Structure formats: structure tokens, C-alpha cells
């Protein structure tokens, strides 16, 4: 259900149920979470890309796979989707969600959860939950209002409106939009650029930003002072300063 590939420090995890627009079943969600954890432990992996096979990114929960299940909704979310989103945001490496097509329901939540979100021109994001009279889950109620404000988030959720790539960029749902024809190459090139950045410093930056989203300015200042010590004591810092002084490009990829 998940294809795994690595090139130039970039681990690409491809959701692979293209006939169903990569709708998620338990195997897909649990395997994806396991693969993220595995990537954490591999020093050669500096950036993780999550993308979809075929014309969709992820159509959310596989609706053919829910009837007759022996878990409640709450148990299901706590077993599959929630550990995935927690693992992604807690991962000590940047995660790019490369949205190659439609992202709906929990697939939209996954698309928004990336540290960097890259979309194709034909990408679409739909908070589709209300079409089946459910509540947005897998982090959508947390991510979307922080990006677009309460009112726009409510409207997108209540009407299940399609957001196309142009709107997505205007609303801040993605960082970049690339042509469909060159998407894979553009994503890989972007990911390699990120992979060349100082991995330890980015890990701390991700930690600081995620904590700051829910805290006060005072807490953020204290945390920055602590994390800056860890960054400043690391070899990457010395390399960056030395490279600046002798006017060369810093080399952060040592492993
Ligand atoms: C699908 C699906 C799908 C199965 C397309 N399942 N087959 C959490 C916990 C517990 C329970 C419930 O949910 C959750 C979280 C959630 O994610 S709830 C939201 C679940 N997702 C949806 O409701 C989305 C349903 N799909 C759609 O609305 C459309 O398919 C979208 C807008 C995603 C794409 O539309 P189109 O581009 O027109 O494609 P299509 O509808 O023709 O789909 C292509 C095929 O994929 C089709 O199969 P077929 O055999 O006819 O070719 C669809 O049945 C299948 N598919 N989504 N979620």
C-alpha cells in the first residue's frame, strides 16, 4: 500500500491505491506511520516526501472499508489517523506533502499537515466530511483555521467546497504549485534543496514552531533560548559561520 524509495537523502513514500484515489484503509495508515518512524531512525534520510500514485493524492477514508468494523469512530481515529498526524508533525525531519491530485477528507488533513506543501496545478483540496455528515478530523480543525481563519475554514467545511491550486496558494494551503508534467522532478529538486540545509537546526526549528503554535510569546522566547544552545553547540553552526567568513557554500551533508 506504500511504495518506498530513496534518492539523494530524500525518502519518498507513495500512497499506492490508485484505483481508489489512494483512499485510506488501516493497512495504508499504519504502514505510512511505520515508514515515517523508520525514516526518523535512518541518518541518510534527511527529508521525507509523501505523495500519491495515479491521479489522486488521498480521497480520505476508504468508505468501502468502514462498514462492519469492530471499532468505534473514536477508537478508529486513535488507532490509525491520529498517530499518523502526530508522528508526522513530531518527526525530527522535514516532511513534504506533495499533493499530486485530489486531497479529500482525512486526505486533505494529511495534505495540510506537511511542513512544506507542494501542489500540482490539478491538485484539489476538499474538506469533504460534511458531505457524509461527519466532522473534519485528522487535524483539519486545527490546521485550517490557523491558515485561513475561523470563518473561511467554517465555510470550506460546511459547504465542502473544492479549493483548486490557484485558490490553495492564495489561501496559504500550499507553498508552491508546479505543472503536472514536471511535478515529480520539481518535488525532488525542492526536497534535495531542503536536504542540503542543516538537519539538526531544522529539527529544532520544527520543534520550536510546533510548540509556539499553541503557546505564549514568553514560552516561545524561553524555548528559543534553550534550543538555540543546542543549535549553537552543534557542528552545523560552526560550519555555517566558517563558510560565511571564507565566502564559500556551507556543507551540511556529512553523513
Ligand atoms: C473511493 C473514495 C473513498 C472509497 C473515491 N472510498 N472509494 C475517519 C474515520 C472513520 C470513518 C470515516 O472517515 C474518516 C475520515 C474521512 O476521511 S471522511 C471522508 C471520506 N472521503 C470521502 O467522503 C470522499 C469520497 N470521494 C469523493 O468525494 C470523490 O471521489 C472525490 C471528490 C475524492 C474525487 O472525485 P472524482 O475525481 O470525481 O473521482 P471519483 O469519485 O470518480 O472516484 C474515482 C474512484 O475512486 C471511484 O471508484 P470507481 O470504481 O467508480 O472508479 C470512487 O468510488 C473511488 N473513491 N474516494 N473515500
| Tens of pLDDT, residues 161-172 | 999 999 999 999
205, 142: one domain: no
Report the domain count for the chain.
2
Q: Is residue 252 domain-resident? A: no
pLDDT of residue 66: 82
- The whole-number pLDDT of residue 255 equals 59
For the CA of 107, the closest atom of ligand 1 is: 17
Q: Is 20 within the bounds of a domain?
A: yes
CATH of the domain at 90: 3.90.226.10
Question: Ligand 1 test: best mutation among 1, 20, 21, 131, most atoms within 8 Å of CB?
Answer: 21
The vertex-141 CA angle with 90 and 40, nearest 5°, equals 15
DSSP for residue 1 = -
Answer yes or no: do 94 and 161 share one domain: yes
Query: Which residue, judged by its Cα, is nearest atom 32 of ligand 1?
Result: 104
> Nearest to residue 52, comparing CAs of 3, 113, 116, 114?
3
Q: Single out the residue of 204, 206, 129 nearest to residue 161, CA to CA.
A: 129
Answer yes or no: do 102 and 166 share one domain: yes
Instruction: Please name the residue that has the C-alpha cell 509523501.
Output: 50
pTM given for the model: 0.97
Whether ligand 1 lies within 6 angstroms of the CB of 103 is answered as no
Does any ligand 1 atom lie closer than 6 A to the CB of residue 128?
yes
Shared-domain flag, residues 216 and 147: no
Domain span including residue 127: 2-195
> Are both 80 and 130 inside the same structural domain?
yes
Nearest CA to ligand 1 atom 25: 59
pLDDT value, residue 120: 98
Residues 88 and 209 grouped into a single domain = no
- The 8-class DSSP code of residue 46 comes to -
Same domain? For 77 and 128 the reply is: yes
Residue with CA at minimum distance from ligand 1 atom 24: 59
Answer yes or no: is 150 within a domain.
yes
Same domain assignment for residues 41 and 132: yes
Q: Which of 158, 177, 195 is the last residue of a domain?
A: 195
Q: Which three cell numbers stand for residue 166?
A: 490557484
- Residues 214, 164 within the same domain: no
- Determine the distance separating the centroid of ligand 1 and the alpha carbon of 69, expressed in angstroms: 18
- The interaxial angle of helices 106-113 and 81-90, nearest 10 deg, is 10
How far is the centre of ligand 1, averaged over its atoms, from the C-alpha of 173 (Å)?
A: 21
Looking at the domain assignment, is residue 253 inside a domain? no
Query: What pLDDT, on the 0 to 100 scale, is given for residue 50?
Result: 99
Please indicate, yes or no, whether residues 123 and 186 belong to a single structural domain of this protein: yes
Query: Which residues of the chain fall short of a pLDDT of 70?
Result: 67, 255
**What is the number of the ligand 1 atom nearest to the C-alpha of 101?**
37
Same domain, 137 and 226: no
In a domain, 70, yes or no: yes
Amino acid at each position: 500500500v506504500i511504495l518506498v524509495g530513496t534518492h539523494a537523502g530524500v525518502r519518498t513514500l507513495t500512497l499506492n491505491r490508485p484505483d481508489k484515489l489512494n483512499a485510506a484503509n488501516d493497512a495504508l495508515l499504519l504502514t505510512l506511520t511505520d515508514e515515517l518512524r523508520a525514516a526518523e531512525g535512518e541518518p541518510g534520510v534527511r527529508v521525507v516526501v509523501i505523495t500519491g500514485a495515479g491521479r489522486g493524492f488521498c480521497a480520505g477514508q476508504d468508505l468501502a472499508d468502514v462498514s462492519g468494523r469492530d471499532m468505534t469512530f473514536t477508537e478508529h481515529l486513535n488507532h490509525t489517523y491520529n498517530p499518523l498526524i502526530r508522528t508526522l508533525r513530531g518527526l525530527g525531519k522535514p516532511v513534504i506533502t506533495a499533493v499530486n491530485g485530489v486531497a479529500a477528507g482525512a486526505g486533505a488533513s494529511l495534505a495540510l499537515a506537511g511542513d512544506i506543501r507542494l501542489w500540482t496545478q490539478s491538485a484539489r483540496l476538499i474538506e469533504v466530511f460534511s458531505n457524509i455528515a461527519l466532522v473534519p478530523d485528522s487535524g483539519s480543525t486545527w490546521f485550517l483555521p490557523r491558515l485561513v481563519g475561523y470563518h473561511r475554514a467554517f465555510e470550506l467545511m460546511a459547504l465542502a467546497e473544492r479549493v483548486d491550486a490557484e485558490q490553495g496558494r492564495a489561501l496559504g494551503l500550499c507553498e508552491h504549485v508546479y505543472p503536472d508534467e514536471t511535478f515529480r522532478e520539481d518535488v525532488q529538486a525542492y526536497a534535495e534543496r531542503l536536504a542540503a540545509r542543516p538537519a539538526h537546526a531544522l529539527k529544532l526549528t520544527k520543534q520550536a514552531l510546533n510548540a509556539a503554535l499553541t503557546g505564549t510569546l514568553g514560552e516561545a522566547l524561553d524555548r528559543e533560548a534553550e534550543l538555540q544552545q543546542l543549535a549553537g553547540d552543534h557542528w552545523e553552526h560552526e560550519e555555517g559561520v566558517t563558510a560565511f567568513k571564507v565566502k564559500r557554500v556551507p556543507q551540511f551533508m556529512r553523513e
